[in-house]
Amino acid sequence: MPLVTEGQFEDGFGPDGRFVKFEREGNFIICDETTRPIGRIGFHDYNPEDRHAGLAIFIGEKDVWSKGYGSEAIVAFGNWYFNIKGAHRLWLVVFADNLRAQRAYEKVGFVREGTWRENVYLDGKWADEHLYGLLRREYNARYRPDLGETAL
Ligand SMILES: CC(C)(COP(=O)(O)OP(=O)(O)OC[C@H]1O[C@@H](n2cnc3c(N)ncnc32)[C@H](O)[C@@H]1OP(=O)(O)O)[C@@H](O)C(=O)NCCC(=O)NCCS
């Protein structure tokens, strides 16, 4: 299945043209400065009553990990998710040993909300997972103060 649907791209937002294309339904391509696609970002399991969903992000090329693309993409996606889609909360679950991902999420403003102990049986071992959450008011206070009190 393709990550995006051909013909549904629009110009996006984000500094340096890094996050330049997105698909209308909330699944976006992450591009580098040359507009080369390097990954994707989107959401899953949207709950329309409580307006929350899980974040899905993946940068496919290891040589561009830890260069800021992931955290920058989350900030750009967050504006669409909270202020255009109108969602209230974004959550994610991450392996406890994935320190790079946790650092990226915490840098952006996600709060660690708890640990699911031995939640996954992987390669013959039990692994812990952490739950993280980011609220609309936290996102907007940090990244969109221009929107004022009503956006909090
Ligand atoms: C997780 C992912 C989206 C993060 O994107 P990214 O562009 O690599 O992340 P960023 O560069 O924005 O931030 C990573 C931070 O972790 C730091 N870091 C890297 N390795 C680390 C480690 N072992 N321990 C602690 N911090 C680490 C980086 O230095 C950077 O922090 P800094 O900016 O303060 O220096 C991306 O690496 C990815 O897709 N990885 C593969 C799939 C994956 O792990 N998905 C997450 C599933 S929940």
Mean pLDDT of 43-61: 93
Handedness of CA 63, 91, 94, 101 (dihedral sign): positive
Å from CA of 71 to ligand 1 middle: 8
- Neighbour count for residue 51 (Cβ, 10 Å): 16
State the residue range of the domain holding 54: 6-146
Q: What is the CATH number of the domain that holds 123?
A: 3.40.630.30
Question: What confidence tens digit (pLDDT) does each residue in 70-88 have?
Answer: 999 999 999 999 999 999 9
Domain annotation covers residue 151: no
Å from CA of 76 to ligand 1 middle: 17
**Any ligand 1 atom below 6 A from CB of 60:** no
Domain annotation covers residue 11: yes
Domain annotation covers residue 152: no
Which atom belonging to ligand 1 lies closest to the Cα atom of 57?
A: 3
Banded pLDDT at 19 (limits 50, 70, 90): low
Question: What confidence tens digit (pLDDT) does each residue in 92-151 have?
Answer: 999 999 999 999 999 999 999 999 999 999 999 999 999 999 999 999 999 999 999 888
**Any ligand 1 atom below 6 A from CB of 58:** yes
Instruction: Say how many domains are in the chain.
Output: 1
**Any ligand 1 atom below 6 A from CB of 59:** yes
Rounded Cα gap, residues 125 and 129, in angstroms: 13
Domain annotation covers residue 67: yes
Domain annotation covers residue 1: no
Rounded Cα gap, residues 33 and 42, in angstroms: 20
pTM, two decimals, is 0.89
Which atom belonging to ligand 1 lies closest to the Cα atom of 94?
A: 48
Domain annotation covers residue 106: yes
Mean pLDDT of the chain: 86
